[in-house]
Amino acid sequence: MQYFDTHAHIGLICDDPIEQLIVIQEARQASVARIISICNSLHDFTGVYENLKSASNVYHAVGVSPSEVQNPGRDWVQTIEQNVQLPRIVAIGEIGLDYYRKFGDKKSQIELFITQLDLAAKLDLPVIIHNREAGGDVLDILRDRLPPKGGVLHCYSEDAEYAKKALDLNLYFSFAGNLTYRNAKNLHETIGVLPADRILIESESPFMVPADYRGKRNMPKYLPMTARFLGEMLDMGDEELAAVLWENSNRFFGLPAE
C-alpha cells in the first residue's frame, strides 16, 4: 500500500537541505511513496529543486502563484519554459486566483493566471490550481483556457454544487487535511457527488494539518490520516482506496504507476 502526496510545500516546512530530505524519508516510512513539491515563486523553486535533486520519488511543479503577482520575476515566462526541461517536472503550478488575500488587483491576477494556462497548453502539461474566494472567475476562465492535459483544484474548498459544474471539465479534485474537520460539511457533501476516479489527496504541508495532529506543523507523513477519513466516507478499505488514489495521481501527472 502506498500513497501519493500531490501537493507539499517542502521548502516551507524547513529550509535546511538535510532536514528536507529527512521529511521525505519520514514520509516514505509512512507509505507516502511519491510527493509533488510545490513552490509559490520561481526563486523558491530553484533552491528547493536543487535541495531535492537526489530524492527520486519527489516530482515538481513550477509556476507563479497569485501571491507573487506583483513580482513574478524578470523574464518569468522564459524561466518557466527553461525549468520544465529539468527532470521530474510534471505540472505548471500552483497557479490561480486568490481574492481573500487581495494580492495585487484582480485584473493582474487574472492575466497572470491566463498566461500560465496558455503556457501549460503550449508545454503540454497539466495545471495545479489555487482558488481562494475566487471560484466564479476560476471556473469561467477554465471553461475557456483549461489546457488539454487538464488540471486539479488543489485543497478543494468550494461546495458540492460547484463540483458538479467543474466535473464537466477535465478537472480533478484534491483534498487536504481539512477534510477531516468536523465542520467541513461542504467538503463532506462534495465527496458524495464525485466519482472516485477524479479524487486526489494532498498534505498541503505545512498547512491544513489533519484533525488528529492539530497543533503540529503538517508533514507529508500525516497524509494517511486524510486517506483513512476519505476511505470511511467512500466506504472503501485502506488498500482499495490507496490503489485508487495512486492510479488517479499517476494518471493525472502522466507518471507510470510502478
CATH number at residue 165: 3.20.20.140
Cis-peptide, bond into residue 94, ω within 30° of zero: yes
In which residue are the cell numbers 503550478 written? 93
60 is in an annotated binding site: no
Residue 101 lies in a domain: yes
Q: Which residues contact 105 (CB under 8 A, 6 or more apart)?
A: none
Q: In what order do the strands lie in the sheet with 89-98?
A: 3-8, 32-37, 58-62, 89-98, 127-132, 151-153, 171-175, 199-201
Boundaries of domain holding 59 = 3-253
Q: Tell me how many degrees the CA angle 189-190-195 measures, rounded to the nearest 5.
A: 125
Quote the CA–CA distance of 63 and 128 in Å, as a whole number: 9
154 is in an annotated binding site: yes
- Tell me if residue 147 falls in helix, strand or coil: coil
H helix and E strand count, the chain:
10, 8
Q: Per-block average pLDDT, block size 10, for the chain (258 residues)?
A: 97 95 97 97 95 96 96 94 98 96 91 98 98 96 98 98 98 98 96 97 98 95 98 96 98 93
- The amino acid present at 235, given as its one-letter code, is D
9 is in an annotated binding site: yes
pLDDT at site 129: 98
Separation in Å, CA 171 to CA 37, 168, 246:
20, 8, 17
43 is in an annotated binding site: no
Quote the CA–CA distance of 52 and 71 in Å, as a whole number: 25
Q: Which residues contact 62 (CB under 8 A, 6 or more apart)?
A: 39, 42, 45, 80, 83, 84, 89, 91, 92, 93
Fill in the DSSP letter of residue 101.
T
Residue 136 lies in a domain: yes
- Domain count along the chain: 1
pLDDT at site 229: 97
HSE of 85 in the Cβ direction (CA atoms, 13 Å)?
4
Residue 71 lies in a domain: yes
Cis-peptide, bond into residue 239, ω within 30° of zero: no
Residue 203 lies in a domain: yes
Quote the CA–CA distance of 119 and 173 in Å, as a whole number: 22
Separation in Å, CA 155 to CA 20, 99, 161, 199, 255:
22, 16, 17, 11, 21
Residues in the chain: 258
Residue 57 lies in a domain: yes
Residue 79 lies in a domain: yes
Its pTM stands at 0.97
Residue 258 lies in a domain: no
Residue 206 lies in a domain: yes
